[in-house]
Amino acid sequence: MKILITTDLFTTKTNGVVTSVMNLRDELIEKGHEVKILTLSEKMRSRREGDVYYIRSLPFGVYPNVRVPTSFRHKLIAELIEWSPDVIHSQCEFFSFQYAIRISKRTGAPIVHTYHTLYEQYVAYLIPGKRLGNTVVRMFSRRRLKKVDRVIAPTHKVEDALHSYGVDKIIDVVPSGIALDQHQQRITEEKREQKREQLGITKDKTVLVNLGRLGTEKNIGELLQLFARAAEMNDSLVFLIVGDGPAREELQETAEKLGVGKKVIFTGMVDPSEVQDYYQLGDLFVSASTSETQGLTYVEAAANGLPLLCRKDRCLEDVIKQGENGYEYTSAEEFLEDIANIAADPEWRRIAGKRSEEIASSFDKSAFGEAIEKVYESVVK
């Protein structure tokens, strides 16, 4: 098949949508399909690089990395219309979605759309008032998805949300896959100790790690509050925060105000090829986010052999097996009790880490590619 993938984002390395698109492209090509990607350029210049088409755009300014195209009738779009894809797979509801609609109308290609993001926790960037924001999200999503032939949700959490919005399309639940090979690499104990020492972490410390984009919707402020209380009871705890984003400065100030500035380490952005090393510097992965639709970082952490302690969320139902490879908490008291037990039991952490690796194996990107391929075949028929 000739498959066109449209996405607003493609050059941002630390983004779940981008990771999903890249893994999907690789798997589809591996299966012999012809794949082209249509996305927004990070510059005011359109270009084509191999099978990736970049349309010139301007920064939106409301949210980091969001850009607005300056043209909807570019010659590169005409080239893709002439190529005539068999199916279009849209990955974003905003600007590149318009290209998907235009190309579909001109070629007759059906549109499959993956709904990656639950916008309720992001809409505050644009619309004051939670109730109004949620109403806008529901209406916008319902109207957008009326225009597609099939919807893919990465979890049942997203499927349920779309049904609650009034979306009446067929919804296939297909978890996004990850490239397990990278996260199955293991650094040596010597390298682990060396990298921890470079960050000022001594051998006797128990390291909590969180990795990802530092945005307010990720709720890392809650983690800092909880960590400060846990550190009062256990002086050996260290919190390693890997990544960057608009909330970083505020989070650093919060850590200082809580009196744990010396126990919280912000690494900033790290090279994507070294992400697995930073997971493995930790003893436990922690998260307080409820904005995830699937949370690929949870799966990555598990694949790197870490037990997990995360705020309870339906997207975790296939990732955390309570008591086996981690815990979901619903209150500060539960978090503090779990931290105390986990920090005191290195043997449980070892066994739980092995269980995490087993669970993560079901999220391999090859299974993801096969499932998406079946959706395409169904829609084309």
pLDDT at 66: 72
Q: What kind and span of H or E run contains 113? A: strand 111-114
Report the b/e string of 205-243 with b at 16+ CB within 10 A: bbbbbbbbbbbbbbbbbbbbbbbbebbeeeeebbbbbbb
Closest CA to 87 of 111, 67, 71: 111
Q: How far apart are CA 172 and CA 170, in angstroms?
A: 7
Q: Are residues 135 and 262 in the same domain?
A: no
The one-letter code for the residue type at 266 is F
Q: Residue 346's domain is classified under what CATH number? A: 3.40.50.2000
Q: Are residues 342 and 359 in the same domain?
A: yes
Q: Are residues 49 and 70 in the same domain?
A: yes
Q: How big is the chain, counted in residues?
A: 381
The CA-atom distances, in angstroms, between 20 and each of 57, 235, 363 are 22, 39, 12
pLDDT at 217: 82
Closest CA to 228 of 246, 204, 202, 208: 208
Q: How far apart are CA 30 and CA 359, in angstroms?
A: 25
Q: Are residues 38 and 146 in the same domain?
A: yes
DSSP-assigned letters across all residues of 301-360: HHHTT--EEEE--GGGTTT--BTTTEEEESSHHHHHHHHHHHHT-HHHHHHHHHHHHHHH
pLDDT at 188: 95
Q: Are residues 270 and 334 in the same domain?
A: yes
Could you tell me if residue 84 is left (phi over 0), alpha (psi between -120 and 50 degrees) or otherwise beta?
left
Running DSSP on this structure, what letter comes out for residue 13? S
Q: How far apart are CA 107 and CA 81, in angstroms?
A: 6
Q: Are residues 34 and 117 in the same domain?
A: yes
Percent with pLDDT over 70 in the chain: 95
Over 70: is that where the pLDDT of 61 sits?
no
- Predicted confidence band of residue 64 (pLDDT cuts 50, 70, 90): low
Q: How far apart are CA 269 and CA 260, in angstroms?
A: 21
pLDDT at 176: 86
**What integer is the mean pLDDT of 311-316?**
90
**pTM over the 0.85 mark:** no
Domain ranges, residue 246: 180-363
Q: How far apart are CA 75 and CA 77, in angstroms?
A: 5
* pLDDT digits 0-9 by tens, 319-364: 999 999 999 999 999 999 999 999 999 999 999 999 999 999 988 8
Q: Are residues 220 and 343 in the same domain?
A: yes
Over 80: is that where the pLDDT of 63 sits?
no
Q: Are residues 355 and 372 in the same domain?
A: no
Q: How many domains does the chain have?
A: 2
Beta-bridge partner residues of 178? 364
Could you tell me if residue 317 is left (phi over 0), alpha (psi between -120 and 50 degrees) or otherwise beta?
alpha
- Predicted confidence band of residue 42 (pLDDT cuts 50, 70, 90): confident
- Predicted confidence band of residue 52 (pLDDT cuts 50, 70, 90): very high
CA dihedral 260, 226, 326, 371 (to 10 degrees): -100
pLDDT at 337: 97
Q: Are residues 157 and 184 in the same domain?
A: no
Could you tell me if residue 243 is left (phi over 0), alpha (psi between -120 and 50 degrees) or otherwise beta?
left
Q: In what order do the strands lie in the sheet with 264-268?
A: 264-268, 237-242, 206-211, 284-287, 308-311, 326-329
Q: Are residues 149 and 254 in the same domain?
A: no
**What integer is the mean pLDDT of 234-239?**
97
Q: Are residues 100 and 218 in the same domain?
A: no
CA 98, 2, 79, 50 dihedral sign is positive
Q: Which residue has the higher pLDDT, 34 or 41?
A: 34
* pLDDT digits 0-9 by tens, 136-171: 889 999 999 999 999 999 989 999 999 999 999 999
Q: How far apart are CA 155 and CA 314, in angstroms?
A: 8
* pLDDT digits 0-9 by tens, 291-304: 787 778 999 999 99
* Average pLDDT across the chain, whole number: 91
Percent with pLDDT over 90 in the chain: 73
The CA-atom distances, in angstroms, between 185 and each of 41, 210, 263, 274, 357 are 33, 19, 28, 10, 12
Q: Are residues 207 and 109 in the same domain?
A: no
Over 60: is that where the pLDDT of 248 sits?
yes
- Predicted confidence band of residue 11 (pLDDT cuts 50, 70, 90): confident
pLDDT at 272: 86
Q: Which residue has the higher pLDDT, 135 or 248?
A: 248
Closest CA to 228 of 195, 193, 256, 249: 256
Contact 297, 287 (CB under 8 A): yes
* pLDDT digits 0-9 by tens, 216-225: 889 999 999 9
* pLDDT digits 0-9 by tens, 257-295: 999 999 999 999 999 889 999 999 999 999 999 878 777
pLDDT at 179: 85
- Which residues does 344 contact at the CB level (< 8 Å), separation at least 6? none
